[in-house]
Structure formats: C-alpha cells, structure tokens
Structure 1
Amino acid sequence: MSKVIAIANQKGGVGKTAVSSNLSVGLAMNGKKVMVIDADPQGNLTSSLGIDNADELENTLASFIEREITERQIELSEYIMHNEEGVDIMPCNIKLAGMDYMIMNALSREYLLDAFVSNVRDKYDYILIDCSPSLNLVTINVLTASDSVIIPVEASYLSMTGLQQLLASIGSTKRKLNRKLEVEGIVINKVNTRTNHEKDIIGKLREAYGGQIKIFDVMIPESVRAKECTAFGVSIYKYDGKGKVAKSFEELTREVMEHGC
C-alpha cells in the first residue's frame, strides 16, 4: 500500500527540502517506487533534484491547480518529470506564490491536490510532498492529501517554539479535513552535538515531545556538503556517498520504511 508523506514545518531554514530530496532518493535506492511533489513556490526541491529553469516550465503544481479549478481536461502524466536517481517529480515554480486567491474561491478548495494524489498513488510506494514554510491554502491542500507528516526541526529554541504551532495546525486539519492524518515523526536536522547548547535543546525536545510523537533515532548532522549537493542538482548519496550525512540519511530511510508501507 502506498504512503503519502508531507515534509512540513512553518519555520524556514530547517532543511525540509534536504530531507525531501535525500529521503526520496534513499527510498528509491531501496527499490521503492517514489514520487515527490514540490509545493514550495521557491522550487528548491525541483532544482535540487536536477531540473533546471523551473520558472520556465509549463506543467507544474501551479498550472495543475489552475486547471483543476477551471475544470479543464488534464493528462496527469504531463505533470510528472523523471530524475536520473530514480525519483519522479511534480515540479513547482514561482507561479504557485499567487495561487492562494484563486484557491480561496474554488469549490472543495482543500482537496485540489488530493485530486492528483488520489489518481497516481497506486503507482508508487511513497509520495513525498515538500511544503513551503507557511500555513497557506497550498499547505492545507498538502496536509489534506497526506497520510502523515515528517517534521524536520533544528536544535534551536526558535524551532521548538514553532513546533507546537505546527502540531496544532496538523491537529486542526485532522479534525476538520483529513481523519487519517498522523505525525510520522520529528527528525532533528543540521545538528552540531559538540556544543552543550544544542545538546541541551535536543534533550528538552525529546523530553517535551518524545512521549507523544516519534522522534527519529538518527539525527542529521550539519554539513557544508549537504548544502553544496543541492546546488549541483544531485542527492547527498551521489555527491558524497561515503560521508556522515549520507550515512545519516540511509538510517533515516530505514526508520521510515520500518514505520510502514
């Protein structure tokens, strides 16, 4: 059975795109059929998986939503691109930034993305959706179409502050729009355990949330190479496959697969 996972956090800069791209490639390397949907108008996931000139693409998440609202006939395969590391991609670009007003006036506005996901999910083992750092109508569409949410967080007090707000948003979506929605887990990202400050925050995070939400055992370390690989449009496995970040994402992939699908 396929699984649809949103990668979400209302705080920017926590590494959502890195988790989305490297987890998707990790799952593909384990023989899983994987698709990613870029739901951030910055299009960082699209470019980090090797698709250039995203703003020039005609068939993106934004154009799909527009055509879904206007009920124009759509060929779903036209919205799916292919990555050389084995992942299918629904790309995104800056055009998505202006979609909230159009979505606001649409019938069944929270289920526009679900119309796509429901029609393709049987072709995949996993569909991962990279969210923008805001709770707008596009993000609500993502949560409504998903089975679960992975929440990347940094070991910082500001990240912990935003986490409670995100959990409240997920709970509200679950109650009102998507009864099956669950929190897959929290992944602690961009970690430097050499500082007592970060060790203290990680301890507080596990104490505050570990009893109610799964916190993945693996922590993704801070690394310049993890930032560099996105600029080259490849995963950490291809850029630095023997490094510590790649090993951490291998472990995260195993934990996600063990959690179900």
Structure 2
Amino acid sequence: MENCKIIAVANQKGGTGKTTTATNLGNALASAGEKVLLVDFDPQANLTMSFGIERPDELALSMHDILTYIIDDRDLPEKDEFIHRGDKIDIIPSNINLSITEINLRDEMGGERTLSTLLDPLREDYNYIIIDTNPYLGLLTINALAACDSVVIPVSPQLWSATGLTDLLKTILKVRKKINPRIEVEGILLTMCDERTNLFREAKSLIDEYYKGKITIFDAHIPTTVKVGEANYYSRSVMEFDPKNKAAIAYTAFAKEVMKRGDKNSREAQASA
C-alpha cells in the first residue's frame, strides 16, 4: 500500500515489553482500520505464540525457512504459504530455527539486507509492518534495523539503563550511515509503569533529562497490570481481553500517537516534494 511504514520494536534488554508492545500496537492499529502485518524476528517465538500458534517448532514454513530461500537465491513460496492470516491482523511466524539463520547470515554477502528483501515487496499489501526483535544487538537486530523505517524503543523504569539505551541509539546511527539512511527513532515508550512510585518518577526524570527535545518520548505510558499477562496467556491483545483496562487504554493512545506521527511525516514529505 502507499506509504506503508515498517516499525521495529527494539531494545537489547530483555523484559521491557517488546513482544507485548508489538502485539498490542499491531492490534490497536488494526482496530483503527489499518492493514497490519506482524513479523516475529526472535527465535524465542513469543510473538508467534501470542498469535495463537501453540507449536511454532512444527511449522511447515517459518521465518528461518523463508530467509533460507532468500540466502539460497530460490524463488519464495506464495505469500499464503508463509503468512498466517488472522481476523484483523497477519503474521510471519518464527521458531527456534531462526537462531540458525543468524549464524548463516554471517557468511552471506549483503546478509544484513536479507529481511529487507522479504519485506519490501510486502509493503504493497499493508499500512504497517511491525517487527518484534530479539533482546540483543546481533545480526538479526541489524537486519530488522536495515529493513525498517523507524524504531520504537520500549523502556521499563525498573530496568532502565542509560548505557544500554545509548548503545542501541549508537547502533541505529551506524545503520543509518552505512545501510539504511531512512531509519529514524519513532520514540521511547515507557512500559510496565507504576506512576505512584518514586522509582518511576526518578527514571522518567532521567529519561527526560537525557532525551527530551532530541527523541520523541511518547505521552502514553503503559501501566503495570496483570491483565497484560492474562491476555498473553489466552493469545489475545489486552484490548480484546479487557477493553476498559488501563493498559488497553494506554496502548490505544500510543497507537494514535504513532498514526499521528505518520500523518505528520507524510504531510512534510509531500510539502518537501
């Protein structure tokens, strides 16, 4: 589709809510009428299982297989053979074999663009493609950054580290200079927040001090709630599981901010043209 946006959800720290953010952002965008594809780019396959695929290791075609087709310079299967269709949202699933792909990419000329080769032709079918990444800065993450237009960085106040976030931003800058000049930081999303605590207020203050005015810090804060875990258990977004829950409301507000930024960027591009 025209102006399809590919967004990577990335942070090399585990436990910051990347998969939950990818799931709920995708579902919130779909609920707003957008055509959305989720891409599971993590060998742990949590996004795949949250979609309702209970045995990802038994998939006939997973992300590993599709990338292997590309590495071996073979024609890809038909889209319906590797894209799983949901009621509102689609997914390219993953499994543990993706870790083998990462090893193979090391010996592949131009291997950092392998995911781009897969996703670029799919832009015509979707408004948004959301990539869930693995929790470290390896070749899979570099592939995701090379393929995307922007990066959402989920940050948990409990796990926030200025050093870790700086490392990720440096990697994004290197990718912009050497591989993908269009990449930008969509923004920092605070997740698993308890706004009543001093810890949240101190972490939020430090993030503002380091990054406000330089990087978008989303107004929406995703609160800590057991409903998110329950929704994941039942392979549903929190908006579907409990639409009135505070996390559901927050993710809906976050999706609106993402769409608003997309509209603004589109208008600026048209004005520039």
Q: TM-score range by the shorter chain?
A: over 0.9
Corresponding residue of 2:155: 153
Is 1:26 aligned to 2:28, yes or no?
Answer: yes
Corresponding residue of 1:94: 96
Tell me if structure 2 keeps the 8 A contact 1:157–1:201. Answer: no
Report how far residue 61 of structure 1 moved. 1.0
Tell me if structure 1 keeps the 8 A contact 2:17–2:154. Answer: yes
Tell me if structure 2 keeps the 8 A contact 1:111–1:141. Answer: yes
Report how far residue 159 of structure 1 moved. 3.4
The one-letter code matched in structure 1 to 2:252 is E
Corresponding residue of 1:10: 12
Report how far residue 13 of structure 1 moved. 0.3
Identity %: 39
Corresponding residue of 2:86: 83
d(CA) in 2 for partners of 1:32, 1:157: 32
Tell me if structure 2 keeps the 8 A contact 1:41–1:97. Answer: yes
d(CA) in 2 for partners of 1:172, 1:58: 36
Between 1:133-142 and 1:98-107, the stretch displaced more is: 98-107
Is 1:58 aligned to 2:76, yes or no?
Answer: no
d(CA) in 1 for partners of 2:54, 2:238: 18
The 4+ residue runs of structure 1 with deviation greater than 4 A are none
TM-score by length of 1: 0.97
Is 1:164 aligned to 2:166, yes or no?
Answer: yes
d(CA) in 2 for partners of 1:83, 1:43: 17
The one-letter code matched in structure 1 to 2:11 is N
Say how many residue pairs are matched. Answer: 260
d(CA) in 2 for partners of 1:122, 1:18: 26
Corresponding residue of 1:110: 112
d(CA) in 2 for partners of 1:195, 1:146: 35
Corresponding residue of 1:211: 213
Q: CA RMSD in A?
A: 1.1
Gaps of 5+ in 2: 264-273
In the alignment, which of 230, 241, 245 is matched to residue 243 of structure 2? 241
Tell me if structure 1 keeps the 8 A contact 2:160–2:203. Answer: no
d(CA) in 2 for partners of 1:230, 1:247: 16
d(CA) in 2 for partners of 1:63, 1:79: 9
Report how far residue 76 of structure 1 moved. 4.3
d(CA) in 1 for partners of 2:229, 2:262: 29
The one-letter code matched in structure 2 to 1:202 is K
Corresponding residue of 1:39: 41
d(CA) in 2 for partners of 1:152, 1:158: 10
